[in-house]
Amino acid sequence: MPFTIGLSYGSCFVLKQDMAQRLTPDPALLEHAIAALSESPGWARVGLTFGNERLREEAVATLAGAVVERLVNPPPVNDPDQLHLF
């Protein structure tokens, strides 16, 4: 089944349900997604509540892009055995 992003608010809800069924309950992925959402642009988080459908769609696309970017390129993990540079 191809993965597509709906352009209407109702389609995004269906996409959210589909993604929830596909994702495994991996705590590391959840942490990355939470970090991506909290580091995403503030206008996009607020934009989910806008009355204008076009702005809501832009906000959803921006948030989805932030989450995907974070999951595809997670931050480097610090090795506890690495010596600290002063």
Q: What pLDDT does residue 25 have?
A: 62
8 Å CB contact between 6 and 14: yes
- Give the domain ranges of the chain: 24-72
Instruction: Give the integer Cα–Cα distance in Å for 41 and 55.
Output: 14
Spell out where the chain has E strands. Answer: none
- Residue the block writes with tokens 């932030």: 66
CB atoms within 10 A of CB 18: 14
Mean pLDDT computed over 78-86 = 78
Contact 8, 43 (CB under 8 A): no
pLDDT band at 23 (very low <50, low <70, confident <90, very high): low
Write out pLDDT tens, residues 25-71: 677 777 878 888 888 888 888 888 888 889 888 998 888 888 888 88
Mean pLDDT of 17-24: 60
pTM equals 0.54
